[in-house]
Amino acid sequence: MTTITASGAATPGADRPRAAPRPTRFARGLWRLSDPKISLASIASMLLGTCAAAREGPLDVPWLAVTVLGILSIEAAKNASGEIHDLDSGADLAVEEIDRSPFSGGKRVLVEGLLSRGQTAAIAATGYALFLAAGIAVAALREPAVLWLGLPGGALAYIYNGPPLFLSYRGGGEAAVALCYGPGIAAGTFLVQRGAVAPEVLLLSIPLGVLIAAFLWINEFPDLRADRFAGKRTLVVRLGPRRAVGGFLALVVAGGAAPAAMALAGWVPPATAAGSLALLPGLAAWRILRAHPEDTPRLVPAQALTLAAFLLHAAATGAGLVV
């Protein structure tokens, strides 16, 4: 049997039967979909928004907890629905053993039989429902304007890998990630606390989003061959590995240099210039990527360094705001 991909190509064997998951497998599958190391992107953005809110006064901890619940729920939901679409397209099935890494290649809960398709769909539906419930609670009892950020953000989370737009398959995934994980989450977190969005939150969250997009970008290199096979036209696929290395450098430099530049211009507090320390791990990652763009085992340290870059940006700019 065959499955039709998002690009219209047929993928042999994508719907082959799998063993029924056991309870221990379910727990492992759920953990993979939650994927703490990847969820650090949303946590970093929430941290930035929280630090900015703390700069202006005491935090409302219960509403912060609701915010965290909503964001982490949709993170797991996005991963779960994405697993289904990436299986159907053949992208996850086409990832070879040598191209697997802790940061790329999908969560593989369906490929490895940890979860059934129905269980994965149920986790996705539950995550989206929890996100929606958190958003409605905030809008009804705290800040109605949060819907203007939450509803588009929830839609982007689904259409990142899903119909009707399949953004990641058409070269739009990187921009969606930069927008959601930068201004979207940081501004939303601040809005719940303060009822408005301060300019410095938007300014500092943009380079954070760019650095998180760089993390996605470098994670697309190990998936290059599988994505080509499945018709998943990420920007790395479209540019090819050599030119995409230059694109990664542009993202790292733009996102890393921005905090210092904005602080020098007087747009943000001077101490937030420390966010430009993100250039150090970011440029180290670029040097590895430039030398080994198609060698996944050698790319893993570069992926970890890129993760460190956006975490360092969030922590340093957040501390600069609080100070």
Q: Give the CATH number, domain containing residue 300.
A: 1.10.600
Q: What is the dihedral of CA 44, 47, 51, 57, to 10 degrees?
A: 160
**In Å, how far are 40, 43, 45, 119, 132 from 129, measured between CA atoms?**
21, 20, 22, 15, 5
Which residue do the tokens 């719940």 mark? 192
Structural domains of the chain, count: 1
- Confirm whether 289 is domain-assigned: yes
Q: Does a structural domain hold residue 280?
A: yes
Residue 254 predicted with pLDDT over 60: yes
Whole-number average pLDDT of the chain: 89
Q: How confident is the model at residue 23 (pLDDT cuts 50, 70, 90)?
A: low
Q: Is the pLDDT of residue 267 over 70?
A: yes
pLDDT beyond 70 at 21? no
Q: Is residue 16 part of a domain?
A: no
Give me the domain span that covers residue 170.
Answer: 21-322
pLDDT at 102 over 90: no
Has residue 270 got a pLDDT over 90? Answer: yes
What's the average model confidence in pLDDT over 250-275?
96
In a domain, 187, yes or no: yes
pTM: 0.89
Query: Which of 102-111, 138-147, 155-164 is modeled with the greatest confidence?
Result: 138-147
In a domain, 90, yes or no: yes
Q: What is the pLDDT of residue 287?
A: 97
Output the pLDDT for position 20: 44
Q: Is 65 inside a domain boundary?
A: yes
pLDDT digits (tens, 9 = 90+) for 166-207: 888 998 989 999 999 999 999 999 999 999 999 999 999 999
What local confidence, expressed as pLDDT, does residue 22 receive? 60
1 assigned to some structural domain: no
Domain assignment of residue 4, yes or no: no
pLDDT of residue 26: 86
Contact 96, 223 (CB under 8 A): no
Residue 10 main-chain phi, psi, to 5 deg: -95, 135
Report pLDDT digits (tens) over 48-97.
Answer: 999 999 999 999 999 999 999 999 999 999 999 989 988 888 888 888 88
